Structure 1
């Protein structure tokens, strides 16, 4: 096995998870089909040369994206505010009015609609899981397919590619294809965004480890990947409570591998990760047993919440998983068949303990629970 970013074989095994749903974010019409979800093995490795973290057991043949796949967070006020701020920042930096934005892997199209509405830009979004959920916006269209050589439209001024790279078994090939696409011109700006593996390792965000994410980019591995693929990084940083990494880039010349001393602290974090992972799993197993699974619910039917339900012993018997997304409500979580319900059902289900899966949303959830006049125990996973 070689690192998918720098092709090094100098790897450190960090954590092993025997069974995870192949698609945590796939929604199911009934509990039985959810429990039949295909599973896969997660063997988390750190590349000692470029700092990339990845699942060495990933099999891309297992992963098939359809309209039932939904990773959108557009119903959280906190996340909507984040995307609005990002759209405003990109518009301030690149004066997008009247320009063309291509969104590669646009999901259900929420961000593309946001940035085009705010800036007056035109947009084309590409995603196999796209489905029409809101009214059309003038100048914005969607293609229910991947962005590839069949696109023959005008050159984009901005290419957005958010939360796509982590799904790619061959991220360098994907990046090179974007960089050399016939529609790209020297003035095209690229905006890339991925989950931050440094946050996962440092803050012990063990619930971030899901099968459909083969890659977990750290700051050095993200920059290395873009350099190898021929991008010139013009701006980079962390955002959304440091849970995401972003890079703004232009086309450039491929560079040789540039390894960094930034990798050394990652080795220590990765070396301790499996022990801490097992400890956290045991803690939450006991937490659920003490309170009773039928009195306990997870808040967040995204990747973190579904992961929690599948890896913590006893969690599969929990009463429900709460989510604000109306398109998820009434559906069932992959692997466990746990029902996904709106916050209003906290009362009828007699839930007394709620586990918040993402600390970024903690205050938002506390306020919603208070508005329901519920005296809940709210804990942060």
Structure 2
């Protein structure tokens, strides 16, 4: 029997009141690495998830996370930019950032740039010069008119890159992968020599989606840190930033923050522009939601196992749509290989490969015409209209069910 892990001090606020509230064992450690065949996908590296909640700041983290199990390289692909819905969201974000901060012929640094889509959009929109850092970056994936103004690197961003003084320093969907978030943010703070020049933009998954909306499938191993409005604001404030804006976006699936380096790093969260102390009134409700999470989500998983068993008994053919984090969480938590045998994804670089842990093959939407499903499980309902339109174009009308 596995021993209950101890809970250290909160990595964000240093509080000692955190408690474990949800655990999963034997989960794939990387959701963005796909495999050439089902056997290798099922033999992927795994780890345990033991989530702790800090009632003092609202931060949630996996106390069993082991960074040595994680290795990012060019095989990693979790790009959402093939979706028109996500492209539209990203373009509106780019336009707002360029307009708000006057990003024309300026310098943009993107920490964790992925395959490079967002940085390319920023450089195109404002005629900016860009520097992108990500071990998963692959050349030639992004066709951009700004190519001659962008420098790409497969390195992790570190203090040695402080010479690249940016007008915008962006980082999307990276901070949740950092086991010591404040150390990372303080490193960035030290690299900024002109607080008036550099604006910080971070984007992370919103804890609201998991805890309040009950999306347990978004609990994955590589996301070792889970931020609420309160904890994200607190982290920036204690690390020496003045918070300019915090917003829940994409139907409260994402959380964004904009900040500047404070001229005086007091370490006092109440002294900063963002005033995280003003958000603490929400912590009581968040604590109540966390307390109920384990029971409600275990019941949800049980209900889904019953539903899958019924589909098998009825001979219903089912596929999942979306080969990202939610699909990996959904299929591995339910332990399903036999009911949902295929996963659809519009990213052509994923098609033909196999999902981590359970090994389902990833197929294109067009492949559904060869063996039409009775049921499509939507991994993310925000894409429902987009998916419905694609199915209609293929002449298919399966039942659509939100995961």
Give yes or no for TM over 0.5: yes
Task: Give the distance between the partners of 1:161 and 1:316, measured in 2 at CA.
Answer: 38
Task: Give the distance between the partners of 2:85 and 2:45, measured in 1 at CA.
Answer: 32
User: Secondary structure, in 3 states, of the residue corresponding to 1:106?
Assistant: coil
In structure 2, list runs of 5 or more residues that go unmatched. 1-7, 271-276
- In structure 2, the partner of 1:283 is 303
Task: Give the distance between the partners of 1:216 and 1:128, measured in 2 at CA.
Answer: 22
Structure with bigger RCO (C-alpha 8 Å, 6+ apart):
1
| CA gap 1:85/1:347 in 2 versus in 1, 3 angstroms | same
Task: Give the distance between the partners of 1:230 and 1:18, measured in 2 at CA.
Answer: 37
CA contact (8 A) 1:210 1:303 kept: yes
| CA gap 1:233/1:314 in 2 versus in 1, 3 angstroms | same
CA drift of 1:294 comes to 7.1
- In structure 1, the partner of 2:95 is 88
1:112-261 matched pairs, under 5 angstroms: 112-132=119-139, 133-135=141-143, 137-151=147-161, 153-181=163-191, 185-252=195-262, 253-256=265-268, 260-261=280-281
User: Secondary structure, in 3 states, of the residue corresponding to 2:304?
Assistant: helix
1:23-34 matched pairs, under 5 angstroms: 23-34=30-41
- In structure 1, the partner of 2:402 is 380
CA contact (8 A) 1:294 1:318 kept: no
| CA gap 1:152/1:219 in 2 versus in 1, 3 angstroms | closer
**Deviation readout 1:323-376 (Å, 9 max, x if unpaired):** 000010011110111101111111223321110011211111111111111120
- In structure 2, the partner of 1:67 is 74
In structure 1, list runs of 5 or more residues that go unmatched. none
Task: Give the distance between the partners of 1:280 and 1:347, measured in 2 at CA.
Answer: 31
Equivalent position to 2:357, from 330, 335, 353: 335
Task: Give the distance between the partners of 1:90 and 1:247, measured in 2 at CA.
Answer: 12
| CA gap 1:309/1:9 in 2 versus in 1, 3 angstroms | same
**Deviation readout 1:179-209 (Å, 9 max, x if unpaired):** 1116665320000111110221111011110
| CA gap 1:337/1:183 in 2 versus in 1, 3 angstroms | farther
**Deviation readout 1:199-248 (Å, 9 max, x if unpaired):** 21111011110000001100100000001111110111111111111111
- In structure 2, the partner of 1:299 is 321
**Deviation readout 1:7-27 (Å, 9 max, x if unpaired):** 222113221111210001111
Provide TM-score, normalisation by structure 2.
Answer: 0.91
CA contact (8 A) 2:311 2:339 kept: no
Task: Give the distance between the partners of 1:24 and 1:281, measured in 2 at CA.
Answer: 19
Task: Give the distance between the partners of 1:154 and 1:128, measured in 2 at CA.
Answer: 18
CA drift of 1:135 comes to 3.2
Task: Give the distance between the partners of 2:99 and 2:197, measured in 1 at CA.
Answer: 17
CA contact (8 A) 2:308 2:339 kept: no
Provide TM-score, normalisation by structure 1.
Answer: 0.96
Equivalent position to 1:77, from 79, 84, 95: 84
1:11-30 matched pairs, under 5 angstroms: 11-30=18-37
CA contact (8 A) 1:6 1:50 kept: yes
CA contact (8 A) 2:195 2:260 kept: no
CA contact (8 A) 1:18 1:42 kept: yes
Task: Give the distance between the partners of 2:266 and 2:204, measured in 1 at CA.
Answer: 21
- Range moving further from structure 2, 68-77 or 314-323: 314-323
- Range moving further from structure 2, 342-351 or 95-104: 342-351
Task: Give the distance between the partners of 1:316 and 1:304, measured in 2 at CA.
Answer: 18
User: Secondary structure, in 3 states, of the residue corresponding to 1:66?
Assistant: coil
